A and B are shown apart, each in its own frame.
Chain A
Amino acid sequence: MSSVSTSQSRAGAQSKTGRSGVWDILILIINIAATIGMVALVWASLVYAKPATNLAGDEQLAQRIFYIHMGCNVGALIAFIVSLTGSVLYLITRNLRWDRMSQASIEIGIIIGLGTVITGSIWAKPTWNTFWTWDPRLTTATITVLVYVAYVLFRNGIDNRRTRALFGSIYALFAFLTIPLTYYSARWFRSIHPVVFSGDNADAQGGFAVGSTMMQTVAVGAIAFTLLFIALLIARWRQLSMEDQLFELREDLES
């Protein structure tokens, strides 16, 4: 790492401490908003949303996990889009801040994406009578999470900070670009996923009629998980940049 970049990041750290008051309050507000959002989502999905009228028994009860499932889905999608943005920006500018954004957002995306897969499996059991099917969305979500886990493993194997950022960014670019191809091949391969918001898939099992309270709950889920993602992203992003600063300071001390 050049000492040019060291001095830059130090200047960055100083200016950050300069406006730390406003910055900290903003983060606090986002954190609180994310917490309220998640509480609201649990309340809305369990209490507020009216039960699906065309389902009964376990299936009707299990349908409520859909709101969490959908929220996770939105959160993971945003996370991976942000990671793509970070990777491309890193490849263009070679500024490590974008690499940190990409890494932070992928790590959060893995956790939220895992949420999608798990809630999907739980929902699948009463609806399709199996935890696992090769439904295209479930398949794509799972493969995507695995690809990004590979990203984390890959990074851990590289010592040089800049090589790590470069190879990570290239891999993240490839990872994101395969998602649509994986999705469409899995979809054409076979599909039994309930297409919830459009009734054109006659083969879909487990679809349900959507009422207005249900739509509102879906919206709450999307907003809540977006806020959660932003809050976690900022926290992890800051942590990673402090790690890098610490590493550089240690280097300066030792050399």
Chain B
Amino acid sequence: MNNRVQEMNEDLVMPGEVAAAPETVRNAGPAAPSPSVQMRTNGGLGAYMRKVRAITRKELQAEWRAKEVFSTMTIFGILAVLVFGMAFDLRVPKSDMVAPGVLWVVLLFAGVLGLNRSFGAEVDRGSLPALLLAPMDRSAIYFGKMIANLIFMLAMLALVLPTILIIFDVNMIKTWILVALLLGVLGYVAVGTLFAAMTASVRARESMLPILLLPLMVPIFVAGVALTAAVVDGRTLGDFWRWLGVLSAYDLIFVTIAFIVFDMIWQES
């Protein structure tokens, strides 16, 4: 037994070796012998990326059926834009003074709703162990979910930006604003997905996540608002490049650290 396991450890084709494929179980079942299982093992980066993609795909597929995350986030986002529009209508002389702030506030607050579901849904229906049992570095779960969250939030923005255009009459669908939104949302979901995983099994997770997350988002918020305002004011790249620097630095630092620490999260359970 030991020898065989050693072999298994070396080339890791074991499941096919250890057990001959089970025969059909019921009389009514298929008569053919079971197909053998072949696995790629230790496929390096390629295998890792395939798993990340599988998780992202699963998230999108499930979301497409349930429309649980995207719809809540988007409805909240549009509602928030309307409420801000009403609140500022009589008091603010020019709406482009507040529109950049509204965009980023809506983004941050609506995003929390989606991030909470990211691991919350797995914990609620008890499917998280299935992901944890998969033979892969658990950071694949992180990247898979992060990319899915990124896509959900960009999809939400695709509806919120036109809403702001209608309500505030400020067109923010401009190249550099979109670049800033991409970088900002990336930093947000990078930190947000990690904390969503940590708060998922903690008491009062729904309220804990925003408290943990929002104060860490100040650099993204400030940089995003400043850059958006600069573009709305018609200034050139030379005036706002440093904000792109802040956003990129934030993304780089926190994606790296989240990747390093993510595998630790379930070590103590």
Contacts and interface: CB of A to CB of B under 8 A. Distances in A.
A119 interface: no
B257 A181 contact: no
Contact of A167 (B198, B204, B211, B257): B198
A79 B218 CA distance: 21
B222 A185 contact: yes
Contact of B222 (A158, A166, A189): A189
Interface residues of B, number: 32
B93 to A, nearest CB: 20
Contacts of B215: 143, 146-147, 150
A247 interface: no
A184 B254 CA distance: 17
B264 A91 contact: yes
Main secondary structure of the interface of A (DSSP, over half): helix
A182 interface: yes
Contacts of A153: 208, 211
Nearest to B191: A174
Interface in B221-259: 222-223, 226, 242-243, 246, 249-250, 253-254, 257
B218 A178 contact: yes
B203 A157 contact: yes
Nearest to A136: B222
A160 B261 CA distance: 18
A197 interface: no
B257 A174 contact: yes
A160 B265 CA distance: 13
A145 B187 CA distance: 22
Given A181-B249, A181-B250, A186-B222, A163 B257 contact: no
A253 B261 CA distance: 35
Contact of B216 (A160, A163, A175, A188): A175
B218 to A, nearest CB: 5
B269 A163 contact: yes
A159 B268 CA distance: 12
Contacts of A146: 215
Nearest to B216: A178
Given A153-B208, A178-B216, A160 B222 contact: no
B202 interface: yes
A178 B219 contact: yes
Given A147-B215, A175-B216, A157 B204 contact: yes
Nearest to A158: B202
A59 B235 CA distance: 39
Q: Which of A139, A150, A186 has the most CB of B within 10 A?
A: A150
Nearest to A151: B212
28 contacts: A91-B264, A147-B215, A150-B215, A153-B208, A154-B199, A154-B208, A157-B202, A157-B208, A158-B202, A167-B198, A167-B202, A170-B194, A170-B198, A170-B264, A171-B195, A173-B261, A174-B216, A177-B254, A178-B216, A181-B246, A181-B249, A185-B218, A185-B219, A185-B243, A188-B226, A188-B243, A188-B246, A189-B226
Nearest 5 Cβ contacts at the A-B interface: A181-B219, A185-B222, A162-B268, A157-B203, A147-B215
